[in-house]
């Protein structure tokens, strides 16, 4: 593929919703959230007949955007039979795809209990949610299963039963599927596929062993994943990663400023708004130089006496004794003040010359990793987060806006696998299901 042929994630944002459902392959989504990850697979030729989601508000967004799908609400451990019977009522055809995206909070690197192996199954049941998909898979025998989660899922050890030794959750998943599936797994960097975001995810693809593509994939050491088109250090025909500045220059978002509620909102887009801050909190953001990648702990000017170089780590100005109100601080119970204990990535501007950091469910929280706009004095808006996650603009957020559930929009955006990637992946899977194995289009096994 030449550089001029490499497709654009931006063009995907403005595509129209598919109205023709002919020649689409039947699919199911488990732990669907608001269905964002399914958008790409849908655009690639899969039709979702069933969705399963625990949380009703997420399910509401999903149902509004997949009106032809049946959405089963509840814990999959208790509703899997309803998912199976619901699908069988829709069609006698085997599912071509089951998309499995269990919550990652129990596995995330931000989880304070990460790394603790003993009694993992009882300490956080979310680590076992992947296994709730096994009964659905065993009953319906889909041709392909895709599992997405944070990288830690590949190493996470769980105790499935009290009388069994701990094992890796992916090994328990593979045992649950048995000999009928060949599982391929790899870490995938979304920026390597033109997504303007540094987002690494573990992707597992289970393919029925009777599919024609399996032997060729094994023989040629190929993965059922799209070949990277971009790279941090490009080779051959690859393009460099898309930086935030490049992306924002293409998108032309209206300027926002957290200095006041009026400046923090755009009249032209109900999703393009940000929290506004009172003076002290605003100073903490505004004093971080634009395009510097610095954090608020490094703000060095005392606004009381004008001293320019207050040493890092000080909560008060050594010259006048005033609080450094442009640094993250808190008041102790005894009346003293100290700086908030945070990571170096907290209260920090994003780098303008790199892809966006991982868009998370906490995209509006200054104290989380790299959340300040590269040059404007604010966090990112919901619209910007959705675009950086490559959610097509046709996605209907009206219910969330009208019912004041915009916080939920931030959460489901942060949870999703970018639809641009699932579109590219879906195109690969369609060809594999047709027996086409193109080494030039597929990733190679490490």
The answer as to whether 147 is a domain residue is yes
pLDDT at 119: 41
pLDDT at 105: 53
Dist CA 411 CA 416 (whole Å): 9
The answer as to whether 290 is a domain residue is no
| pLDDT tens, position by position, 117-138 | 334 444 455 678 899 999 999 9
Tally of CB atoms within 10 A around 232: 13
Dist CA 97 CA 377 (whole Å): 43
pLDDT at 124: 52
The answer as to whether 198 is a domain residue is yes
Q: Which residues of the chain have pLDDT under 70?
A: 1-7, 104-126
pLDDT at 112: 40
CA atoms within 13 Å, Cβ hemisphere of 67: 6
Residue % of the chain over a pLDDT of 70: 93
List the CATH number of the domain containing 88: 3.40.50.150
Number of domains the chain contains: 1
pLDDT at 344: 82
The answer as to whether 163 is a domain residue is yes
The answer as to whether 402 is a domain residue is no
Residue 276 CB contacts under 8 Å (≥ 6 apart), including other chains: 258, 259, 260, 261, 263, 264, 282
Helices (H), 235-314: 244-251, 279-286
pLDDT at 125: 59
51, 159 contact by CB (below 8 A): no
pLDDT at 195: 97
pLDDT at 7: 64
The answer as to whether 132 is a domain residue is yes
Dist CA 142 CA 27 (whole Å): 9
The answer as to whether 263 is a domain residue is no
The answer as to whether 17 is a domain residue is yes
Beta bridge partners of 339: 329
| pLDDT tens, position by position, 34-81 | 999 999 999 999 999 999 999 999 999 999 999 999 999 999 999 999
Domain that holds residue 60: 3-239+417-444
């Amino acid at each position: 593929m030449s550089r001029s042929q490499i497709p654009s994630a931006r063009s995907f944002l403005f595509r129209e919703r598919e109205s023709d459902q002919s020649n689409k392959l039947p699919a199911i989504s488990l732990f669907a959230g608001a269905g964002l990850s399914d958008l790409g697979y849908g655009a690639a030729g899969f039709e979702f007949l069933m969705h399963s989601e625990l949380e009703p508000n997420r399910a509401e967004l999903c149902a509004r955007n997949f009106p032809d799908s049946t959405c089963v609400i509840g814990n999959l451990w208790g509703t899997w039979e309803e998912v199976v019977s619901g699908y069988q009522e829709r069609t006698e055809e085997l599912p071509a795809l089951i998309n499995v995206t269990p919550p990652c909070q129990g596995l995330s690197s931000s989880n304070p209990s990460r790394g603790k192996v003993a009694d993992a199954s009882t300490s956080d049941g979310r680590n076992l949610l992947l296994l709730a998909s096994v009964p659905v898979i065993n009953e319906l025998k889909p041709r392909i299963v895709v599992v997405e989660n944070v990288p830690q899922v590949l190493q996470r050890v769980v105790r499935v039963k009290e009388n069994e030794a701990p094992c890796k959750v992916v090994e328990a998943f593979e045992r649950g599927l048995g000999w009928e599936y060949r599982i391929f797994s790899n870490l995938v960097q979304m920026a390597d596929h033109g997504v303007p975001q540094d987002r690494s995810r573990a992707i597992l693809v289970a393919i029925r062993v009777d599919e024609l593509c399996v032997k060729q994939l094994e023989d040629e050491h190929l993965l059922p994943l799209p070949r990277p088109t971009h790279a941090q250090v490009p080779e051959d025909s690859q393009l460099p990663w898309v930086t935030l500045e490049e992306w924002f220059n293409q998108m032309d978002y209206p300027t926002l400023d957290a200095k006041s509620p009026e400046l923090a909102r755009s009249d032209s887009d109900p999703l393009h708004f940000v929290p506004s801050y009172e003076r002290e909190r605003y100073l903490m953001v505004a004093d971080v130089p634009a395009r510097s990648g610095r954090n608020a702990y490094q703000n060095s000017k005392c606004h009381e006496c004008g001293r320019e170089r207050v040493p890092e780590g000080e909560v008060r100005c050594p010259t006048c004794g005033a609080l450094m109100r442009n640094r993250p601080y808190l008041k102790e119970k005894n009346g003293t003040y100290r700086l908030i204990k945070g990571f170096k990535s907290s209260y920090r501007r994003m780098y303008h010359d790199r892809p966006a950091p991982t868009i998370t469910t906490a995209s509006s929280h200054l104290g989380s990793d790299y959340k300040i706009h590269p040059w404007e004095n604010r966090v990112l808006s919901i619209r910007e987060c959705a675009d950086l996650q490559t959610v097509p603009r046709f996605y209907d957020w009206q219910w969330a806006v009208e019912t004041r559930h915009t916080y939920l929009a931030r959460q489901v955006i942060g949870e999703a696998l970018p639809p641009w990637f699932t579109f590219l992946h879906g195109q690969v899977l369609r060809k594999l299901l047709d027996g086409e194995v193109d080494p030039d289009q597929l990733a190679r096994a490490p």
